[in-house]
Amino acid sequence: MTAATSNRRLKITLIGAGSTVFTRNLLGDILAYPELAGAEIALHDIDAHRLALSEQVAHRIADALGAQPRITASIDRRAALADANFVINTIQVGGYKPATVTDFDIPKKYGLEQTIGDTLGIGGIMRGLRTVPVMLDMLRDMEEVCASGAIHLNYVNPMAMITWALNASSTRIPTIGLCHSVQHTAGELARDLQIPVEEIQYHCAGINHMSFYLRFEHEGRDLYPRLREIHRDGAMPDWNRVRYEMLHQLGYFPTESSEHFSEYVPWFIKQGREDLLKKFNIPLDEYPGRCQVFEHAWPYIERELQTPGSQDPAALLAQLRAADIHVMPRSIEDAPHMLEGLRQVVRSVEYGSSIIHSVVTGKPCVINGNVLNHQLIDNLPQGCAVEVPCVVDHNGVQPTRVGELPVQLAALMRTNVNVQELVVAAVLKQNREHVYHAAMLDPHTAATLDLSQIRAMVDELLTAHRPFLPDFLHG
């Protein structure tokens, strides 16, 4: 898992660069490294307007950091990929409208409610079916035009399905799946414990969005007793009740947010159980709500990106509060904070730039990456996608062996791995029946619908998503 470097200018390509805020953050991280400040930055998106905005923002970030990269932008994917050493991927196939709206609206007709729908569940299954074929085609382009030893850094969900499918295909391009749930959760727990996050040491492993902190310490002292005390006293944030309950039930704290986690298991979102939604403060339709927040906020964000300091965060907050958007309060409150954050270039917690820097310079770093399970976690299936600590240096991204996970954690993860495996098999073996099998074995779907409902729902979803799906799924 290495990227060859030479005297030729380093080239970093961002696919899906029209995700302008995320692109801005990634470029701020990359160009802050002196060793990367002169790289070629190639931006690609299918939306010409958003691509032009990202190009403008890229130049502004470079100027703010005193960097002198070569910045290019192209709607031609192969041109953007040509001679790239690193490819960072942030695409969303089908977008919020119509694809994500469809992922929520059709299951809801059958009584199946979701929160985020991008990782597991029927929403994650459909997103995987839309995305993996596009990514496989992209990897074929990379094989033909990228530099020797190029590395694909994937930020796209469903992370485990994509990482598994791409690395299990015949491509020579390695894919490293990157997420920020491990770092973000560490920061959230640090705030709960009132300890600076930089003083906390942890060891975390599992599968994406269902990793657990096997060790969580401060100055050599185990912090789990204090976390259990927070649960016992009911002192956790209202939005984080699901994960503290999982700590209580399983003995370890999971990495993905409570709203995410609630739909990976069969216990929290059940027909006719409003009491559970209230007890654990679970926000249904949270992701569509966040998309609506972003739609309302985008004019402010675009103007702020074009003219830093020009927008009033308070005015944005007032507009969002007045809008009829059903979403967690913090999802609304985060939008003005993001607006304020666009006024300065600060390092994010994303791993992408650290990986590139370590491969190029040989200066090691440790990240939590998504890779295939080749003798890394003993009690998860070999060859599935796992999220483990990885050492990165001139030799590339090197996963570290974890051994056995606590048996209850591995057993829970396997219920999710089953679904991931079937989606991967559906695409790589071009077997439509495996889509039904994946939905049948999904923990949340199976806890809500019977077999005839599942088949009818899948049929309706495959028909609705026909423009985004390969021919073998058309039926």
Which distant-in-sequence residues (6+ apart) come within 8 Å of 346 by Cβ? Answer: 28
Half-sphere exposure (Cβ direction) of 372: Cα atoms closer than 13 Å: 15
- DSSP letters of 64-75? HHT---EEEEES
Q: Which tokens is 153 given? A: 């850094």
Closest CA to 12 of 78, 74, 83, 77: 83
How many Å apart are CA 301 and CA 297, to the nearest integer?
Answer: 6
Amino acid identity of 357? H
Phi/psi for 210 (5° steps) reads -145, 45
Q: What is the CA radius of gyration of the chain?
A: 22
Dump strand ranges (E) for 138-199: 151-154, 175-177
| 180 labelled catalytic | yes
Note the helical H segments in 194-322.
Answer: 224-232, 241-250, 258-261, 274-279, 286-306, 313-322
The tokens describing 340, both together, are 């304020």
Tell me how crowded residue 451 is: count the other CB atoms within 10 A of its CB. Answer: 11
179 annotated as belonging to a binding site for a ligand: yes
Other beta carbons within 10 angstroms of residue 189's beta carbon come to: 23
d(CA 137, CA 254): 33
Q: What 3-state DSSP class applies to 430?
A: coil
- Is 209 among the annotated ligand-binding positions? yes
Q: What is the DSSP string of 332-348?
A: HHHHHHHHHHTTS----
Alpha helical stretches, state H, 343-450: 352-361, 407-428, 433-441, 443-446
Q: Which of 59, 152, 180, 465 is catalytic?
A: 180
What three-state secondary structure class fits 386?
strand
Place of tokens 């990227």: 3
Active site residues: 180
Numbered residues of the known binding site for Mn(2+): 179, 209
Annotated binding-site positions: 157, 179, 209
Tell me the binding residues for substrate.
157
